[in-house]
Structures are given as structure tokens and as C-alpha cells.
Structure 1
């Protein structure tokens, strides 16, 4: 019952409660993001949603216009504190996770949940092996098991295993623990960026993480 009904009700309740605070954040950040390089305020990222449906995930833009798409060896997007693609305000909103806050709109639209597997890029569906597509059984989340306990410290394939673990053990109590553990990690700014020694490959397409 929680998974099918109450989780969605709780998502909407919390999203609408947070919306006035997010509007205040938008009013403050929007002109700063724009004035950095006269670019767009938002980055609309195509992502895999529930049952493999592709949707636009909203983020505050943290990278320079037409930034390179840098990937790690496992196909996941590269993320580092000294990433030259980040704008000055972009580095700040990444550290504080404010870049993810526009996803409140995705929750209201029904694309995402507050807690669930972080959504993959559309092309990642061709890299799934075995039962890894199971991570698409539920709506992706703004945060999830990986973000709460590991953030960016483990490889993509290991994150998928944790996503499936979350789906198999989904409960109200687990969501509560993930919510508060995420809040603690964000406040302490733990493991926001990937290890600097991560290997990456470049592609000339403007994609943010």
C-alpha cells in the first residue's frame, strides 16, 4: 500500500510544502546563474524514468554553455571539484546540492519521487546486464539509497545493485532513514565529487551530470 499509494501522496505533500522555499531559491540563484555567462538558468536533462520512459529532469545549470560531455570508464558522467566546465556559481550549487532542487517540479509532474534510484541517461539502457533493468521498476528519486550512504564513492554498476536492493526492501521506514541520512550528508557536504583519479573519456556534446 505504501509503495502504490502513500509514497505518491507523501511526495506531493512534501513537494508542495517545499515549493515556496524553492521559489525563493530560484529568485536568488536565477540572475546569478544567468549573469555568469548569459546562459540559460535551467539544464533539462533527458533521463530514464519508470518503465524506461524518457523524461526531462530539471536542474539549475552548473556548467558553462556547450561544455564537453566527460564520462568515466563505466559510462557514468564525470563529476569533480576541479572540473573546468563548472561556472563559479555552478561549483557552489553542486557542493550544496541546490542544482537538484528544480526536481521538485518533476515530482509534482509525476516523473520522479523524493526517494528512489537516481535516473540514468537514456543510452544507459543498452548497458544494463542481467536484472539491472529492474531499477526502472519504480520512479527515480531526487535522492536514494546510494546518495544517502555512498554518494559518488562507488562505481555505477555497484550503484545499480544498491538500487535493486532498495526496490526489494522499499518501505516507509527505509525512506525515512534515507531522507535523514541524505540531509546529514548534504549539510556536511560529504563525497559530493568523484575521486580525482577517476578515468574519463570525452565527447563533444554539451551534457551536464
Structure 2
């Protein structure tokens, strides 16, 4: 309950404080990338319950001759890359926090199609509400292996506390300013998870 109160208070305050950035970003995205301004996708929340996550759009809708979307690294524009480097694309998730879909801190909500691929250990990351940032994000983000990422997520589940959350939030701000670990070489963000081999 205390974490929920903290989440709502901080998220609502951040929405108000960052409203000029949010509005300006929306206008620029509309102008440079077109509509829709928001990217919406179904993600698994706590215990795998689906919800719709919000992000600012960072890619074009370019497709091949058959109508299939081109790879992410092709559709990610320099403008979109800047939004990601500054983590501006994540700002709409503050509304997800207010709604109760996610927390400020927790394992990042991944794709629905990954759920059947988790082993028993990896499945434990679903025991808590996902977050905008998390222990894996401040310890490598997209620049570490899936195995390491999941191990860090489960470590957070076992050690979560208010002090740890505050520490992660501080490290997150530092990461944003340093613009580090945003992607892996050759990928717009990180490779697709294909399960354990």
C-alpha cells in the first residue's frame, strides 16, 4: 500500500512537472513521425495479467513491397533515437503508473509472447508489478544477456524494499543523463528472447 501511494504521488507530480516536455514531445512526434503519437502495446503485468502500455512513438511505419514492417533499426529515425536516449519515449508510462498497471520500480514488462518461454526461475519476475525502471535496467539495461537480466529481476523480487527502490530511481536518473546501455550493437534495443537453449 505504501509503495502504491508513493508511486501515484511521484508519478502524478512528475506528469505535472514534465507536462511542457510531454506536450512539446507530442507535437514534435506528430510533425516528424505522424500519427499516432502514442505507441500502445499489450504487455503482461503482475501474474501475467495483460495491460496496455503507453510509449511515445519513435519509429516510422515503413514497410516492404509486401506490406511487412521493415526491421526496427531501419524504422528508428535519428529523432526517435534521441527520444530513446533521453528516455522521453518512456514518459507516457507515468500514466500507466497512476492507473496501477505498473510501478515506478519493478521488472520491465516484456512481450506477451515471451510468457510461455520462461522457465520456473524466470517466471518469478511476474510475482510483482512491473516497473518503468528496475534492477536490471540500472545494471546493464539492454546491454546484458537475457539470462543476466532475468536473474537481476528475480533478485529484485527477493530483495525489494523502499530503500532499494529509491536507490534504483537515483541510479536511473544517472543512467538517463549518461545515456548508457540503451541498445546492443546491431539492434535498435535488444535481441528477441527465444527461450532457453
Q: TM-score, normalised by structure 1?
A: 0.83
Report what 1:96 is aligned to. Answer: 86
Report what 1:27 is aligned to. Answer: 23
| Larger helix share, 1 or 2 | 2
Rate the CA distance shift 1:120–1:183 in 2: closer, same or farther, 3 A. Answer: same
Structure 2 CA distance for aligned equivalents of residues 94 and 11 of structure 1: 23
RMSD of aligned Cα (Å)? 2.0
Q: 2:137 aligns with which of 147, 152, 155?
A: 147
Using the TM superposition, give the Cα deviation of residue 36 of structure 1 relative to its aligned residue in structure 2, in angstroms: 1.4
Report what 1:37 is aligned to. Answer: 33
Higher RCO by CA contacts (8 Å cutoff, separation 6 or greater): 1
Q: Give the unaligned 5+ runs of structure 2.
A: 64-68, 193-197
Q: CA offsets per residue over residues 56-89 of structure 1, 9 Å max, x none?
A: 110000011256375xxxxxxx7xxxx2211232
Report what 2:176 is aligned to. Answer: 186
Rate the CA distance shift 1:185–1:37 in 2: closer, same or farther, 3 A. Answer: closer
Rate the CA distance shift 1:131–1:69 in 2: closer, same or farther, 3 A. Answer: farther
Q: 2:116 aligns with which of 120, 126, 132?
A: 126
Using the TM superposition, give the Cα deviation of residue 150 of structure 1 relative to its aligned residue in structure 2, in angstroms: 1.0
Could you list the structure 1 runs, at least 4 aligned residues long, displaced by more than 3 angstroms after superposition: 66-70, 197-201
Report what 2:6 is aligned to. Answer: 10
Report what 1:175 is aligned to. Answer: 165
Q: Specify the SS of the correspondent of 2:136.
A: helix
Rate the CA distance shift 1:173–1:119 in 2: closer, same or farther, 3 A. Answer: same
Kept in 1, the 8 Å contact 2:47–2:126? The answer is: yes
Report what 2:104 is aligned to. Answer: 114
Kept in 2, the 8 Å contact 1:46–1:56? The answer is: yes
Using the TM superposition, give the Cα deviation of residue 200 of structure 1 relative to its aligned residue in structure 2, in angstroms: 5.7
Equivalent residue runs for 1:46-61 within 5 Å: 46-61=42-57
Aligned length: 186
Q: Specify the SS of the correspondent of 2:142.
A: coil
Bigger CA drift: 115-124 or 32-41? 32-41
Q: CA offsets per residue over residues 36-69 of structure 1, 9 Å max, x none?
A: 1322100002111001001111000001125637
Q: TM-score, normalised by structure 2?
A: 0.87
Q: Give the unaligned 5+ runs of structure 1.
A: 71-77, 202-209
